[in-house]
Structure 1
Amino acid sequence: MKKLLLSAIVFTALTSCKDDDKINNQDINYSKLPQEFPFSKLVTVNGVDVINGGFGSGAAAHPTRKGEFYVITDRGPNTDYLNGKKFPAPNFTPTIMHFKINAEGNIEVIKYIKLKNPSGQPITGLPNPAGMGSTGETAYDSSGNVLGTDNYGLDSESIVAAPDGTFWVSDEYGPHIVHYNAEGVELERISPVGVNTGSRKLPAVLAKRRANRGMEGLCITPDGKTLVGTIQSTMYVPTKALATNTTLTRIVTFDIATGQTKQFLYRQNGGASDSVCDITAISNTEFLVIERDGNFGSQGGTKKVYRISIAGASDVNGTDLTAVDGMKINNKALEQSTWDEITNAGIQPVSKVLAVDLVAKLGYEHDKFEGIVYLGNNKLAVFNDDDFGILDDGNGNPKAKILPKTGKVDKGTMYIVDIQ
């Protein structure tokens, strides 16, 4: 039965890709973009409205229907506090929004899909407990009281819409790749070796991701066979103090049928504070990847997309996927090694070339440029994470997230841009 299902998925993906118009949306009216997503108020804390937004942490096109998309939230509104986060809406459920560009060129919501545990109960964005993907973060409510954990909690960051109607979602806790059915019920949770969530595993080294810097991007290859995920920033391998190569991060691939993985090195242009965010496929070996910093566009922010290829890159999985520090060269973890040492060891990172600079091209203002979907013909759909309209005031409390150029509250917005 599994073989038949996989064959159907691959056949659907391949036949969809034969007709570019089915996925490239060339006849869709994008003239009214950029356009904000609809939103409502989620909660008010100390006079600050937290909007029911957040859609844009990751994005995907509907695999067969033109002009339809999915965007996903992260774990929900939060602010930094002590050794963790305050959650002003602790019962918030990470959610997928299915929408379309209608005949008038406007964004029209089709459906909201809340993510659920295997029993069908809505999950939260609260951290996982020890042994199930914990990052060491403690969750607090708005008053500073300690909240619990959630075995199935997710800090969702990217989404894949599969041809069979299911979803694959990456997160920053475990990090996990989670398979959900069309109604958002968990089917499988794939995590690093040693994380007690299921039988199929990712390499153990991925558990050394930094808190809030886990698997930020995820896409599926056009043949429907392989998931490709990006780790947001340099991992703490073997430790935070020793991970000195702050421009090195990793791309991981997961064969859906066999569970086999590969890892590739990605060299960031920025430093430790920069992020490698969403990824979208051009071909089975070529992809577009976001690199950004945390500044607003008008305040010198970096918001770039690079065209990359894994075709000539070295697989750095190593022979022992249970090794907590992964492959080593000269008895040092890769994150301890300089790029010269890596090159001298015969390891080739993915190749990359700039595809578009959004600040230069669009005057892009948002800080968290986090979602992309390749539409074909060198057109790219672009999405941002609005952080539910809030920022941290420096004391663990929310303040309105104001775009400095416009003076307006940041909201999730869809853009279309031409790339090189």
Structure 2
Amino acid sequence: MKNILLVLFALFLVSACENDQAVVSENAVSLSLSKEAKFKSVPPQTVLDYNTQYVLPFELLTTTSEGVEIRNGGYGSATTAHPTKAGEFYALTDRGPNVDYADGKKFPVADYTPRIGHFAITKEGSVVLLNETLFKDPFGNTISGLPNPVGKGATGEIPYDINNNVLPYDDYGLDSEGLVALKDGSFWVSDEYGPHIVNYSAEGIELERISPYGINDGNGGRKLPKVFAKRRANRGMEGLAVTPNEKTLVGIMQSTMFNPSGGAATNRTVTRIVTFDLETGITKQYLYKQEANNLSNSEIVALSDKQFLVVERDGKYSGDGVVQKYIYKIDLEGATDVSGSNVEAELGMLINGKTLEGSSWDEITNAGIQPVKKELVADLAALTGYPHDKLEGLWLINHNTLGCINDDDFAVIDNDGNGVLDQKILPGTGGSIDSSSLYMIHF
């Protein structure tokens, strides 16, 4: 492995209370993570301008023979507040750098391990990476971001290395996208393979893996409803939250599931939310109505046990034209539980023999089903000129202050769909390479 990413970016965090106070950590110090770790330092700032971009520095994983930098960034797939320490937060990577190739994905750094970064804001107004938690299997071995085999969450994606050789599947591989940090130091992570919801210890060791299949270690028979196996490849459980009492996980699917199969879903504006009672394992499901076909719900964070903030976005860049990077407040109160009578039903609840994804909103409404209520609270592009394609992390700092972080895809992309890595350049910026960046907003 190359040197692990060590992030320092400068800001002074002002909370949005009646009398603005600095939110800092007494414990924020530059710690050496390992003998290979080294920190980069920048001068501290004394003023934080809201609606301004703060770029997270990076280190190189490698450079391709064509000169494309693969950056050890990626801390933007999810973000969550530290549950007990003001001014500290966690940020999540996904499965690692990858691009589409043939009938699967090419992984140029095939041994990359998905991870959580623990960040803190110092008294001086800078942000330091205190440590990283690499994900491990139940036996303590680091996992990869490679796809799961058949029967354990396979998406149909075949993994290839940089030289186009087929790679082995990983039983415990994770395409991590949603993150929850509990007060006991453990984490819950949702992903886009199974989809899985995985409980990790503070040291990153897998404690329980919950999926629609019920075949993974340590789950005690606890499962997600079987219909969630109909998720689309690379559009699985993109967001994960926990209620303030830490009793219920709440996950949201990125886009419409292919239910019954393939591209048969005709309603491309319906996505699903699932709640999971951590004590009983009981689940409930709700529908979310997107504003247009094939948008992405890429983050969810709890305001209460019923109200949440949700990202609804497209995959466009503002440098190419009009974009949608919306943050909604949603309310489960009054929404219909669409679990049906049998959570083991492969297609889930049906309406006149049709799946929910195969039914129009008129048919859904006529069946007495109400989706979650939603209210637009922030248009990030309008507020900041947001140049990135992927808004995926929300750090809830207080009742009306958010930190918003993008996924930079490790600075690589495949522009032509031929499996060749290109540098991920932000349109309209004069050639700037995409980097994970923090935007502070009031909502």
Q: Normalising by structure 2, report the TM-score.
A: 0.87
Q: Specify the code of the residue in structure 2 equivalent to 1:151.
A: D
SS at match of 1:348: coil
**Is contact 1:297–1:359 with CA below 8 Å preserved after alignment?**
yes
Q: Write out aligned runs for 1:310-389 (5 A).
A: 310-389=332-411
Deviating beyond 3 angstroms after TM superposition, the runs of 4 or more aligned structure 1 residues are 193-198
Could you say if the C-alpha distance between residues 295 and 257 of structure 1 is closer, same or farther in structure 2, counting changes exceeding 3 Å? Answer: same
Could you say if the C-alpha distance between residues 295 and 305 of structure 1 is closer, same or farther in structure 2, counting changes exceeding 3 Å? Answer: same
CA offsets 1:318-343 (integer angstroms, 9 cap, x no match): 11111110000111110010101111
Q: How far is the alpha carbon of 1:296 from its aligned partner?
A: 1.0
Aligned to 1:105: 125
Q: How many residues align?
A: 398
In the alignment, which of 279, 286, 291 is matched to residue 257 of structure 1? 279
Q: Specify the code of the residue in structure 1 equivalent to 2:210.
A: I
CA offsets 1:335-364 (integer angstroms, 9 cap, x no match): 010101111111110000101001111111
Could you say if the C-alpha distance between residues 168 and 21 of structure 1 is closer, same or farther in structure 2, counting changes exceeding 3 Å? Answer: farther
Aligned to 2:53: 34
Q: Write out aligned runs for 1:108-147 (5 A).
A: 108-147=128-167
Alignment partner of 1:275 is 2:287: no
Runs of at least 5 residues in structure 2 that lack an aligned partner in the other structure: 1-14, 25-46
Alignment partner of 1:180 is 2:171: no
Q: Write out aligned runs for 1:3-402 (5 A).
A: 26-28=21-23, 31=48, 34-46=53-65, 47-193=67-213, 195-197=215-217, 198=219, 199-272=221-294, 274-299=295-320, 300-394=322-416, 395-402=418-425
CA offsets 1:5-35 (integer angstroms, 9 cap, x no match): xxxxxxxxxxxxxxx999x995227716632
Return the alpha-carbon distance in structure 2 between the equivalents of residues 360 and 295 of structure 1: 14
Q: How far is the alpha carbon of 1:412 from its aligned partner?
A: 0.9
Q: How far is the alpha carbon of 1:55 from its aligned partner?
A: 0.5
CA offsets 1:289-316 (integer angstroms, 9 cap, x no match): 0011111122222111011000110000
Runs of at least 5 residues in structure 1 that lack an aligned partner in the other structure: 1-19
Q: Normalising by structure 1, report the TM-score.
A: 0.92
CA offsets 1:86-114 (integer angstroms, 9 cap, x no match): 00000000011100122222221100111
**Is contact 1:35–1:107 with CA below 8 Å preserved after alignment?**
no
Aligned to 2:8: none
Q: How far is the alpha carbon of 1:240 from its aligned partner?
A: 2.6
Return the alpha-carbon distance in structure 2 between the equivalents of residues 78 and 241 of structure 1: 24
What is the RMSD of the two structures over their aligned residues, measured on CA atoms?
1.8
**Is contact 1:135–1:173 with CA below 8 Å preserved after alignment?**
yes
Could you say if the C-alpha distance between residues 43 and 81 of structure 1 is closer, same or farther in structure 2, counting changes exceeding 3 Å? Answer: same
In the alignment, which of 412, 415, 420 is matched to residue 436 of structure 2? 412
Could you say if the C-alpha distance between residues 194 and 238 of structure 1 is closer, same or farther in structure 2, counting changes exceeding 3 Å? Answer: farther
Q: How far is the alpha carbon of 1:43 from its aligned partner?
A: 1.5
The structure in which a higher percent of residues are helix is: 1
**Is contact 1:219–1:281 with CA below 8 Å preserved after alignment?**
yes
**Is contact 1:142–1:397 with CA below 8 Å preserved after alignment?**
no
Alignment partner of 1:403 is 2:429: no
Could you say if the C-alpha distance between residues 25 and 233 of structure 1 is closer, same or farther in structure 2, counting changes exceeding 3 Å? Answer: farther
**Is contact 2:16–2:400 with CA below 8 Å preserved after alignment?**
no
**Is contact 1:133–1:195 with CA below 8 Å preserved after alignment?**
no
Return the alpha-carbon distance in structure 1 between the equivalents of residues 74 and 133 of structure 2: 14
Return the alpha-carbon distance in structure 1 between the equivalents of residues 286 and 441 of structure 2: 28
